[in-house]
Structure 1
Amino acid sequence: MATTEKPDFTGLRAVYINCTLKRSPERSHTQGVIDRSVAIMEGSGVSVDQIRAVDHDIATGVRPDMTEFGWDTDEWPALLSRVLAADILVIAGPIWLGDNSSVTRRVIERLYGYSGVLNEHGQYAYYGRVGGCLITGNEDGLKHCAMSILYSLQHIGFTVPPQSDAGWLGDVGPGPSYLDEGSGGPDNDFTNRNIAFMTYNLLHVALMIRRAGGFPAYGNQRAAWDAGIRPGDPNPEYR
């Protein structure tokens, strides 16, 4: 039964990956959107980690560690450990030419590179984690960008709650960005409502999964399937 009482989210952990094209300390409008969501998380007792991807040497590829495939350096394995330590992952980024930034795509490709690893229950590694996204820009494409990110996250094993995307769009075409004076971004009621709903929906689902002891491990265990234990198979070998 639905309840309007605020649950105790203390102990949950979230990581935000900012996929801006701007290196620190340059101002990131995507960070402005992230900050509003992070404030809700931290105000709810959640431990929050943040990564600005472009500040790190992330090799191109779809393997967990690209130094094993010819790259001299790769900071992704260390960043991935921070993702795996969290209950919630939020990928945030700008819109360019109507699509996600190149940094966003690289992060998703590197996440994909670990998706075949199994957890302690024999499920794919990201099972039991929750994913969402934040988008900002001053051109069309917010829903397209969110659709691409959320599809990718659920495909590799993250649980995607209802209304798990939010963002801000300024006037289409040249104009002020989110943090620019006079943009109206930080005061936009539609954006603020969606960010709040997204953030709490991520928290609710993450808490439900934690209380359940993880994502149910029946009918979705790769290790069991490979061993011949195949629930739902019309001709299961284990009978």
Structure 2
Amino acid sequence: MKAIILLGTLKKEGLSNTAVLSEFFKEKLQQKNVECEIIQLVNENILPGTYTNMGAGDAWPAILEKLAAAQLIIFATPIWWGNHSSEIQKVIERLDNIHDEILAGKPSRLANKAAGIIITGDSDGAQHIIGNISNFLNAIGLVLPPYASLSVLWEGQKKGAAPTREQLMEKYEKEYSKTAATMVEQLMKYAQ
């Protein structure tokens, strides 16, 4: 089984809470023999638009091929002003072409794949983001199992805070291992 984590951090380099939580979750997947790749979206040349291929140099078509080959797709985002990141919004906009194909009577290229959502932040907003992303995932044929979200809202992740990678991993391991393990089990169970 293969998983792709679409990492929506806005940081091209340096410590990212969302990247560390994604690495934590990747470890949980690998413990169940799930091959996992994290795609850091901000480092990819994903052109703006709502079609599968927006022209020369567009990295999206190759990423979409990876999604089509995976059984599990996870959207990982920080919270910014109560919403998911602009990088995750770009992915939603690029996946809109699949919705157009469904409306034209074609089957979804991502049908029956299991999807999950990972969120980091320092305050409320996770439920709103889960609702928005879940609505979109449903519209393009992805299955969102019960218990398929992992949200860590903690003041230690606020903008300007400087936890170390080790401190983040320690917190995630101590407080979120059971939630992450349940999410992995659910994703594997519902992927077809």
Which residue of 2 is the match for residue 193 of structure 1?
Answer: 178
Q: Deviations over 1:137-171 (max 9, x none)?
A: 11211111111112111111101111111110113
SS of equivalent to 2:98: coil
**1:81 matches 2:65:** yes
CA separation in 2, counterparts of 1:59 and 1:182? 35
**Conservation of the 8 A alpha-carbon contact between 2:98 and 2:108:** no
In structure 2, distance between residues paired with 1:174 and 1:56: 24
CA contact (8 A) 2:83 2:125 kept: yes
Residues 178 and 185, structure 1, Cα contact 8 Å, conserved in 2? no
The aligned counterpart of 1:46 is: 34
Say which is worse superposed, 85-94 or 191-200, in terms of deviation: 191-200
Residue type at the aligned position of 1:45: N
More helix by share: 2
Contact 1:167–1:194 at 8 Å: present in 2 too? no
* Distance in 1 (alpha carbons) for counterparts of 2:9 and 2:122: 14
Instruction: Measure the CA separation in 2 of the matches of 1:86 and 1:54.
Output: 21
The answer to whether the Cα contact below 8 Å between 1:98 and 1:141 also exists between their aligned partners in 2 is yes
Please state whether the residue corresponding to 1:17 is helix, strand or coil. strand
Corresponding residue number in structure 1 for 2:148: 164
C-alpha distance in 2, partners of 1:41/1:203? Answer: 9
CA deviation string 1:73-121 (max 9, x = no partner): 3110011111111001001010011111111111111122233447xxx
Task: Specify the alignment match of 2:89 in structure 1.
Answer: 105
Letter in 2 for 1:142: A
1:200 to partner: Cα distance: 1.4
CA distance in 2, matches of 1:128, 1:152: 14
Greater alpha carbon shift after TM alignment, 170-179 vs 47-56: 170-179
- Normalising by the residue count of structure 1, what TM-score does the alignment of the two structures yield? 0.71
Deviation, 1:188, is 4.6
95-104 or 72-81, larger mean C-alpha shift: 72-81
Displacement after TM superposition at 1:176 (Å): 3.8
Identity among equivalent pairs (%) = 27
Q: Aligned-pair distance for 1:198?
A: 1.3
Give the aligned partner of residue 15 of structure 2: 27
Distance 1:154 1:167 in 2: 20
Per the alignment, residue 205 of structure 1 pairs with 190
What TM-score do you get using the length of structure 2 for normalisation?
0.87
CA drift at 1:34: 1.1
Alignment RMSD (CA, Å): 2.2
State yes or no: 1:141 paired with 2:125.
yes
Separation in structure 2 between the aligned mates of residue 91 and residue 148 of structure 1, nearest angstrom = 12
Gaps of 5+ in 1: 1-11, 210-239
Q: Which aligned runs of 4 or more in structure 1 are off by greater than 3 angstroms?
A: 115-118, 172-185
Q: Does 1:18 align with 2:18?
A: no
